[in-house]
């Protein structure tokens, strides 16, 4: 495995731990799926106006988050309904646009399930910078985000600007989803966030332990999964998720066994 892929992987794994915790705590899994689905539209838009995939995906992610916040404030439909409409509208538009633009089936397939070939050196720089910035912002906002997750009322009364924090979290998810799509693929991106955090929850006693544990688990599993995918010429996303699930099952059984004894 080449150095740039190794660094990309580690950068993504590090930010997936803490960010994944918020996806679990704040029940944002469906939002993550929605963001991922909309990413294909971002790729199509990137192709049309001639910017890179990542910039297209991030722009769409921010529009997606803003649309959701705006529609949710109207209080007409439930959040999961709104997410379903937005996500599938973006996915369908994306697939139609990609096909009309002449992107072949193979390329769409890579976006859906992830591929090592897609991780170029230029992209690696982008992903590492994006992950690093996201991790830095997440650490800065951490205390306020934790208080807000424990009690929104309390955080609000103690001066945490809830709307700004929530928007920041959504944008961070947009950045990380955009950054990890080539490696893990649109269909499986949410599991990269959810499974490490859930595995860490089994033994964590504090929010910080769960975040760091999540990063460690994501790193180990991705470093096991990627060479396997390379050797057997498999799509990277499904292999990584298989390893993550195996790790989760193993620790779940250990957790249940120690609790009984």
Binding footprint of other proteins on the chain (CB under 8 A) = 24-25, 143-144, 146-147, 149-151, 153-158, 160, 198, 201, 204-207, 209-210
Min. distance of Cβ 153 from other proteins in angstroms? 4
Min. distance of Cβ 192 from other proteins in angstroms? 17
The residue to which tokens 């590090």 are assigned: 14
d(CA 181, CA 221): 17
Ramachandran bin of 235, using left for φ above 0, alpha for ψ from -120 to 50, beta for the remaining angles: beta
Min. distance of Cβ 151 from other proteins in angstroms? 4
Of 28 and 226, CB closest to other proteins:
28
CB 215 within 8 A of CB 17: yes
User: In this structure, what are the phi and psi dihedrals at residue 28, rounded to the nearest 5 degrees?
Assistant: -105, 15
Min. distance of Cβ 154 from other proteins in angstroms? 5
Of 152 and 230, CB closest to other proteins:
152
- Sequence-ordered list of residues with C-beta below 8 angstroms from that of 206, at least 6 positions apart, any chain: none
CB atoms within 10 A of CB 186: 26
Of 157 and 257, CB closest to other proteins:
157
Of 18 and 207, CB closest to other proteins:
207
- Sequence-ordered list of residues with C-beta below 8 angstroms from that of 212, at least 6 positions apart, any chain: 17, 200
Of 28 and 175, CB closest to other proteins:
28
Min. distance of Cβ 254 from other proteins in angstroms? 17
The residue to which tokens 């689905």 are assigned: 37
């Amino acid at each position: 495995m080449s150095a740039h892929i190794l660094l990309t992987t580690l950068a993504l794994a590090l930010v997936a731990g803490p960010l994944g915790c918020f996806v679990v705590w704040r029940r944002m899994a469906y939002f993550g799926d929605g963001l991922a689905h909309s990413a294909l539209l971002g790729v199509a838009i990137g192709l049309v106006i001639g910017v890179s995939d990542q910039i297209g995906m991030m722009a769409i992610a921010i529009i997606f988050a803003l649309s959701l916040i705006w529609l949710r404030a109207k209080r007409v439909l439930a959040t999961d309904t709104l997410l379903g409409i937005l996500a599938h509208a973006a996915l369908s538009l994306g697939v139609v646009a990609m096909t009309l633009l002449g992107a072949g089936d193979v390329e769409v397939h890579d976006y859906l399930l992830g591929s090592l070939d897609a991780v170029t050196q230029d992209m690696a720089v982008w992903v590492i910078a994006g992950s690093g910035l996201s991790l830095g912002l997440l650490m800065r906002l951490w205390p306020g985000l934790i208080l807000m997750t424990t009690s929104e009322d309390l955080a609000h009364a103690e001066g945490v600007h809830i709307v700004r924090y929530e928007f920041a979290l959504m944008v961070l998810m947009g950045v990380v989803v955009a950054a990890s799509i080539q490696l893990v693929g649109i269909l499986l991106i949410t599991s990269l966030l959810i499974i490490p955090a859930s595995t860490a929850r089994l033994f964590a006693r504090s929010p910080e332990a769960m975040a760091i544990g999540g990063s460690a688990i994501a790193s180990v599993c991705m470093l096991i999964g990627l060479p396997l995918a390379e050797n057997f010429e498999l799509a990277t996303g499904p292999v990584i998720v298989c390893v993550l699930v195996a790790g989760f099952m193993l620790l779940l059984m250990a957790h249940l066994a120690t609790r009984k004894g």
